[in-house]
Structure 1
Amino acid sequence: MNRYQFLCLAYVTFGSIFYGYDSGITTSILAYERFLIYFDLNATKIGAFNSAYYGGSFIGCMLNWYLPNKIGRLRTIQLSCAVAFVGISMQTAAKSFGVFCAGRVVGGIACGLVFSVCPTYASEISPPEIRGFVGGVYAVNINFAYMFTEWIGLGLYFIDSDVSWRLLLGLQLVPAVAMFAGSFWMPFSPRWLILKDRNEEALVVLKKMHSAPGHEDFPLREYHQIRAQIELDRSERLGVSSILSKKSYRKRLMIVVGAALFQQLTGVIPIQNYQVQVYQSLGFSNILSLVLTGIYGTVATASAVLAMLLCDRIGRRKLVFVAYGLMIPASLVLVILWSRFEASGNTNRGLGIGVVFAIYLFSCGYSGPMNTFWPTYSAEILPTSIRSFGVANSYLTFNGIVILLVQCTPLALEAISWRYFIVFLVMDFIFVVAFSIYCPETRMKTLEEIEALFGDHVAETPDGTGKHLTDEELKEPDVVVTENTNATEQSAEKNATSA
């Protein structure tokens, strides 16, 4: 990996900071008595403002059915940053609950845009041997932002004024500003450029990003492979509409949507977003609940770092089995210990501590392995023509389930407490069986080669297992002849590396 590619991937994976910070806010701010009193919050209102955010994110994902292919992955990110500025300003300055909720909706739209387009963008600029690692970096950023927010939330808790929660909300501007500023040094996705017949620009990006000593011809071979596959899809008229008629496309879309569905039915949202209420129900104070939440974020970050290092080594399937090998026992222990805690009259502190450790064990399974698997797999198994559409639908499903959960969880915790988590335990068993049957391994394969795993034709492969490239095909693509050919090439490079 050269320096330029490293910086590009660092930028794209930074997009998960949006979601990580916002998730942290949702958890921490519920311990702020001034915030609860200012908006006169109860279980219903708490569910409402959480639903408002994820409802906005749902809309953002819907917009990604169209925007990333129309204006490009990079322009979509820039648009999301601009929308985020408006939403964050509304939340931070809100004088009424209505304005606050409206700000959460607008902020959610921005998050939906950036959070679902970044995995698409990342997969399209990552070489196959580190694509899982890049997905792991995405997960690390989510969890690091969450952890950072929780510890910041603990510190701001001690400010005895409304500045505490307004500042916590206002800090959402930091990742938005950073993403917007960095976008002006980013290239367009080479696959999107070829999709738009901007072939010379695509080759410039591939050369700049994937050139390495001893592999000088790889970018050109990769260029031919991408272009051949896109042209094949065009000749067969494969696009979003083909999902209805092409079995392999339907299967892939069902996999990414199903993975998103069952990922959220692990119970992560009730555990993560409502930790403060869970810890308080176990007898812990507000401050100690915030400390325990910060520890949760730290454990999650450590888990994500480990998953990042393992994903390309052990593969996607084994990573998922590791995840559920931790989450299922953790959920089972959580239900048993919490039920015994309540049977003791909520007085057995040891059982309460046991529930906390079960939550941390669950985080080891979910926060790293599942947060690495999902953005990696959902983007890489989809062909270029429907990749942004399919990933958007995956995140659309994610947000739809989250809206349901954040709305009903406060009420469910009050009504049935630990029994609520039995539902998620059952869903875990169902997913493991379905995943083992329907989801193939994709480790170390190019995005175009993954087509073959689902029975589709691969136009050509860079390693010679498909169509062999002729000497004529290995020549540079033609550029428009002008008085100064070098100027034309420089112009292409400038266009490809500017926002």
Structure 2
Amino acid sequence: MAQRPDAEAPLLGKPGAASPPSPPAKRTNKYPFFCAVLASMTSVLAGYNVAVMSGAQIFMAEDLGVTDAQVEVLSGVINVYSLVGALLAGWTSDRLGRRLTIVLANVFFLVGPLAMTLAGGYAVLMAGRFVAGVGVGYAFVIAPVYAAEIAPASSRGLLSSLPEIFINSGVMLSYVANLVFSGLPVHLSWRLMFAAGVVPTVFLAAGVLTMPESPRWLAMKGRVAEAKAVLDKTSDTPAEAEQRLLEIEDVVNGGGRSGEGSGGGAWKEVATKAGVRRVLAIVLTLQFFQQSSGIDSVVLYGPRVLAMAGVTSNTLLLSLNVLFGVAKAGSILIAMALADRVGRRPLLLVSTGGMTASLLVLGSLFAAFTGAKDDAAVAAVSFAAVVAFVVSFSVGFGPLAWVYSSEILPLRLRGQGAGLGTAMNRITSGVVTMTFISLYQAITMAGAFYLYAAIAAASFVFVYACLPETRGRSLEDMEELFHTK
């Protein structure tokens, strides 16, 4: 990182000079980007550990005699276990710091998959899944929080979106691992699928220790000189670094330091300050809507949906499922590119509107053409509607729910507030994915998608009525915007 040149200080024009010197050009600071990427790599491990069971379960059943009921529990229970990590992560990040919390998440991703790799029975498999699930909860909370706090306002939307793209990258890597190791002997194949996720944790944890601590956490602990040094490295200009430090100190001094700024003292504000209650309600509602509109049902049960829409070839079903993943990951890149240019609110409105329209189309197709098993046109339109839904979700609601939640929470509540938001997200995801089959069997596939469309429409209204724009604002500005001081 280049040192700040003396010439960056503006010079006053002198009499007789031809013209005053031009102000220094605003630099493009890549350092916070690299820090956010490294922190967000933990999200790759989260996605990997959630999805690796999809292929591993086939070989585990044959090797260890694991029953279908046990496989179902092992596959789905990680969402429940992640609640433990999500709720603990806020407490840990406020006391140990954001950086050490990321290291701790990697420890869970080391121990959990390693236990499953060496497991000889169901009990150890379940214990390993629990430890990995705690790591998933930690990763969901701390990666977007660190990215939001390390980033300058000019790139916070981009950097806070990184965990979402990395989660999806981890899912795709788990599918690759399932394929690569599937040809090995049964007793080795599923073990290597889990073991492949163990090795990166050691190097990633070591790399995280080279990152700076969050300047906001340092200031909250009274380590202002260290916070200033980090801000000098992660701001676009020296003037911005000074301004960020002043704003952070103002918030910290207003909310109290250390014990006063976190924990019980801060949570008393939920009962006494309407602005704090409003922010917490927005975070919880946003995370609820993100999952209750059915995205995980489409992602996890895509082949089943398309089979009922008329796709009869298993090979084609699996190929189309891969395309869902590609479309989802690619669309997140669009959100990352536009979040700091267009703004959060426009992208969220476009996203929720597109989700509503595509779900209505999908529900109408099932209502009008139920039983049209060999109708290629119906199958093609159904596939297009599913892709439109996935793309609409990923271009806005998917990544930006995390971005918005991370940046509007007050500093003194950010760690624990993000933990509560993640808990809401994981609970809702678990309920949706574990009820989808029962839901469409009870009210038909058309009825299920109409229900999801109604929820997506409600989320559009919520965004329009309750979410102000945050693009370009510092995190400290949020205190004024939401009246949480």
Find the counterpart in structure 1 of residue 398 from structure 2: 371
Check if 1:293 corresponds to 2:321. Answer: yes
1-structure distance, mates of 2:316, 2:130: 30
Find the counterpart in structure 2 of residue 6 from structure 1: 33
Instruction: Return the offset for 1:420.
Output: 2.7
Find the counterpart in structure 2 of residue 360 from structure 1: 387
Amino acid at match of 2:114: S
1-structure distance, mates of 2:244, 2:443: 55
Find the counterpart in structure 1 of residue 5 from structure 2: none
2-structure distance, mates of 1:339, 1:143: 31
Matches within 5 A, 1:77-476: 77-157=102-182, 161-210=186-235, 212=236, 215-234=237-256, 239-279=266-306, 283-340=311-368, 342-344=370-372, 346-412=373-439, 418=445, 419-457=447-485
Matches within 5 A, 1:14-93: 14-26=41-53, 28-29=54-55, 33-35=58-60, 40-42=66-68, 45=70, 47-93=72-118
Change (3 A) 1:174 1:353: farther
Instruction: Return the offset for 1:46.
Output: 5.1
- Match of 2:475, SS state, is coil
Deviations 1:363-418 (A, max 9, x none): 10112322221121001101100011111110010111122223323444566551
Instruction: Return the offset for 1:36.
Output: 5.3
The alignment covers a number of residue pairs equal to 450
2-structure distance, mates of 1:176, 1:279: 37
Deviations 1:443-482 (A, max 9, x none): 100001111111345xxxxxxxxxxxxxxxxxxxxxxxxx
Change (3 A) 1:424 1:98: farther
Determine if contact 1:13/1:118 at 8 Å carries over to the other structure.
yes
- Match of 2:395, SS state, is helix
Q: Which moved more, 1:49-58 or 1:126-135?
A: 49-58
Instruction: Return the offset for 1:200.
Output: 1.4
Gaps of 5+ in 1: 458-499
Instruction: Return the offset for 1:283.
Output: 4.7
2-structure distance, mates of 1:279, 1:97: 33
Change (3 A) 1:261 1:347: same
2-structure distance, mates of 1:98, 1:274: 28
Deviations 1:112-153 (A, max 9, x none): 012211111111111111111112333322233333333444
Change (3 A) 1:441 1:409: same
Give the CA RMSD over aligned residues. 2.6
Instruction: Return the offset for 1:66.
Output: 1.1
Determine if contact 1:54/1:105 at 8 Å carries over to the other structure.
no
Deviations 1:261-294 (A, max 9, x none): 0100110111112334445555545544332222
2-structure distance, mates of 1:184, 1:454: 34
Determine if contact 2:55/2:175 at 8 Å carries over to the other structure.
no
- Match of 1:313, SS state, is coil
Determine if contact 1:139/1:368 at 8 Å carries over to the other structure.
no
2-structure distance, mates of 1:148, 1:284: 27
- Match of 1:403, SS state, is helix
Determine if contact 1:48/1:407 at 8 Å carries over to the other structure.
no
Deviations 1:163-197 (A, max 9, x none): 44333333222553343121121111111011111
2-structure distance, mates of 1:202, 1:304: 31
Change (3 A) 1:165 1:188: same
Determine if contact 1:89/1:170 at 8 Å carries over to the other structure.
yes
Change (3 A) 1:9 1:81: same
Determine if contact 1:154/1:290 at 8 Å carries over to the other structure.
no
- Match of 2:340, SS state, is helix
Instruction: Return the offset for 1:80.
Output: 1.4
Instruction: Return the offset for 1:435.
Output: 1.9
Amino acid at match of 1:273: L
Instruction: Return the offset for 1:155.
Output: 4.6
TM-score, reference length from structure 1: 0.83
Identity of aligned residues (%): 28
Q: Which moved more, 1:349-358 or 1:226-235?
A: 349-358
2-structure distance, mates of 1:309, 1:91: 38
Determine if contact 2:345/2:468 at 8 Å carries over to the other structure.
yes
Determine if contact 1:338/1:352 at 8 Å carries over to the other structure.
no
Gaps of 5+ in 2: 1-27
Amino acid at match of 1:449: D
Change (3 A) 1:393 1:147: same
Amino acid at match of 2:365: L
